Structure 1
């Protein structure tokens, strides 16, 4: 199915869900000026096409550290290694790029021991892994994962969680909070009675926990929908070297571009990484020429088209 099969109302519904993944059907119906039954029918149809609403922890708010790992492998082993990484509970997305010899994955760690076990011991000793690059995400300017988040339909500043950079103590979680994260990772639109049954709490108690987690910036909701169904066939990773004096400006500018669902300042030679979603290679070229080229301080840029997504939008449970 291509984007022509999705009407304007369907795309508007995706837009509204991106703004608030748990918005009730009554609110969505009011915004779309249709009945709740119509909204429910369109929502269920989009779900059959792969739509997911996922509750995600915001790592920086919970004392977690997020890493972008870049692996170069031999061509015969890349697929196997990618699937092994996808099976890990600490990876949230895994993609194949650059001729099938390069892998990217996002890893969330709680402790230095967890970090070292994977980055210093497990991966470097894996057969057929030629090199390992680990980049700590210092500041997330837009988005929460590598997947498309409806950013072509709305301002990127509302696409997922954005790290404001404010330094606050990690939010402490109780057993109810942890159960809610687990349930919302499976279905971000689980009802209050369903969440109450899972936590052993009343719906009103669950609502208070949700309001606290969202109000404290520890929980966000992401929309996962295949961009190909909306006519976007070219996904690519952009690695940039930016002069330090311009890093914040360039990152915040990228966060306003509808082509960019994710951008972050990272450690390493390339200090800014972004994910871009485009209709085709011509649109990617125009973006690099007209949108990236004029930005100040960009010293170099490397593009790596994503060939296949092995895992995406799988949040680590705090």
Structure 2
């Protein structure tokens, strides 16, 4: 057995689950919940992060109070070109997620940019001009019902979860908590958010030094952005070690008046990682984490049983998740590096006359 796999135990997974619930909690706060010493937790986390087996990232992508313009982009490639195309897209800050997948596309990317004109430029002057790309198809995200930072390992007991959050396990489901008013993300806040992309547990002192702010200013800004949901943290574990190694995506058609119910049902299933309304030939996209490939059939059957009005139009299994929430991953899902998600970086079109690429 791979030594990296055998070194991870249930205590490590419990630590990851605790950090999913309280990403910046001190070791002193977490220790009594997990029944161990603060220095032991610190050593475990250092080992996990050093091996790329777990990590916490911070994402703050708003422009003022406006959410980023997000889209799922299917990329079709020449035979044999998808590894090279994938390596190119992984390096883009606008491409937050990327996977090689089964089905009618070679690559599936999750893209975020500030606005619609930026999405047009990114698709037309970047993605469609990469050698080996023969076509793209885009689905605009129109609503996020469930985001990946809310998916949990479920390693802790309800009592432990309550000690960390004061709520139940799936309390982030729709209707459980009234969301606070959104806080604007200013240009002055961006360096702070970007500095947290690789390590969401960075100390206030190190953030202050890097961003040229006082520690009190950093604390005040972090508190404001976190309370207003403009800065969100995501704690993840390498898929091969988490117990949920298979990633799948579903495309579905749902009557518009049933979308809310669809989202509630999807969120109620343990495997659901994201649920979004999208534009295009289908109006809902769902991603899931599964224990086995065979679990996809059971998952889709359960969705269809609970939602007779939903028609699943396509499904795909990820052959290799190369990037997730700005983190570059190896074939076992371990983090190798972070691409800072500076989605506001200006794209420079290649020299020469503008030409139309394959269909958006």
TM over 0.5: yes
Q: Which residue of 2 aligns with 1:55?
A: 58
- Is residue 48–residue 54 contact of structure 2 (8 Å, CA) maintained in 1? yes
- Is residue 6–residue 230 contact of structure 1 (8 Å, CA) maintained in 2? no
Q: Which residue of 2 aligns with 1:106?
A: 110
Shift of 1:278: 1.0
CA distance in 1, matches of 2:181, 2:139: 23
Query: Out of 65, 70, 87, which is 1:66 matched to?
Result: 70
Q: Which residue of 2 aligns with 1:316?
A: 341
CA RMSD of aligned residues (A): 2.9
2:208 aligned with 1:196: yes
Unaligned stretches of 5+ in structure 2? 157-168, 327-339, 345-360
2:275 aligned with 1:250: no
3-state SS of 2:294 partner = helix
Shift of 1:170: 7.2
Query: Out of 151, 163, 171, which is 2:184 matched to?
Result: 171
CA distance in 2, matches of 1:64, 1:263: 17
Q: TM-score with structure 1 length normalisation?
A: 0.87
Change (3 A) 1:170 1:25: closer
Please identify which structure carries the higher helix content.
Answer: 1
Unaligned stretches of 5+ in structure 1? none
Q: TM-score with structure 2 length normalisation?
A: 0.78
CA distance in 1, matches of 2:42, 2:127: 45
Out of 16-25 and 287-296, give the one that drifted further: 287-296
CA distance in 2, matches of 1:105, 1:234: 17
1:98-177 equivalences in 2 (<5 Å): 98=102, 101-144=105-148, 149-153=151-155, 155=169, 158=172, 171-175=184-188, 177=189
Query: Out of 29, 51, 58, which is 1:27 matched to?
Result: 29
- Is residue 143–residue 263 contact of structure 1 (8 Å, CA) maintained in 2? yes
Q: Which residue of 1 aligns with 2:11?
A: 9
1:182-261 equivalences in 2 (<5 Å): 182-261=194-273
Query: Out of 297, 306, 309, which is 1:285 matched to?
Result: 297
CA distance in 2, matches of 1:172, 1:223: 22
Change (3 A) 1:216 1:102: same
